[in-house]
Amino acid sequence: MSQGHGRGRRRGRPDTRKTIVDAARSRFLEDGYHAVTLRSVAADADVDIALIGYYFGSKKGLFGAALALPANPAELLADLLRSGDHSDFPERAARTVLRAWDDPRTGPELLSLLRRAGVDGSLSVLLREVLEAEVIRPLGALLGGSDAPQRAASFSAIMTGLVTSRYLLRLDPIASMSTEDVVAHITPLLGQALRGPGRTRRPPAATV
């Protein structure tokens, strides 16, 4: 209100945080996810690199803040993999994605980001790189075994299809199905994706 905002250096913590976020956003959009280092952002923002760790924890955290992500897929995945036993991972993953997108505080912002990525080339590249680096690759590493990257990619493709169908295109009936109904239909697909084609058991009867 009565605080004068001069042209000099930022003085308090909120300004420092914002300066870092602004520098990170520019760097990510210009250079992509892989090329950005915490060191380069610290230099751009003219702050000590330790401050970035203090405010954002990691590159993932900085990325989420830079894009003002209300729900950071990388951090959601990390949480999912850390907690609980792994046998119900597909179901917990489906619930986590649905929760983030159904929530009126986070869903609309995620949708807006997805829409912009469709027409904004550098945002689309950034989204691709972060999904590859922070979701598909870690999940593949965890799965192990033959075809692990392809199985992780199939898993990611189902999630992408769920989000695009339910929230972007709003296709019926998937847009109007209850959370429980979506979870019931998507969980077996996610499980099948993680198992991969080598562990498919074909039904004896015709499929359609």
Between residue 19 and residue 78, which ones bind a second copy under the rule CB under 8 A?
Answer: none
Contact between 57 and 22 (Cβ < 8 Å): no
Residue type, 143: L
- Is 123 a binding residue for a second copy by CB under 8 A? The answer is no
* Min CB(22)–a second copy separation in Å: 26
Cβ closer to a second copy: 39 or 86? 86
* Cβ 148 to a second copy shortest distance, Å: 10
DSSP annotation of 37 reads: -
CA distance 156 to 186: 12
DSSP 8-state assignment for residue 67: T
**Contact with a second copy (CB under 8 A) among 26, 40, 58, 124:** 124
Going 102 to 109 to 66 to 117, the CA torsion angle's sign is: positive
Size of the site for a second copy (CB under 8 A): 66
96 binds a second copy (CB under 8 A): no
Indicate which single residue of 79, 141, 171, 179 sits in contact with a second copy (rule: CB under 8 A).
171
DSSP conformational letter for 8 = S
Nearest 10 degrees: Cα torsion 45, 48, 53, 54: -100
Residue of 107, 64, 99 whose CA lies nearest to 80: 99
Nearest-approach distance from CB 134 to a second copy, in angstroms: 12
Binding site for a second copy (CB under 8 A): 81, 85-90, 114-115, 117-119, 124, 127-128, 131-132, 136, 142-143, 147, 149-151, 153-154, 156-162, 164-166, 168-174, 177, 181, 184-189, 191-197, 199-203, 206-208
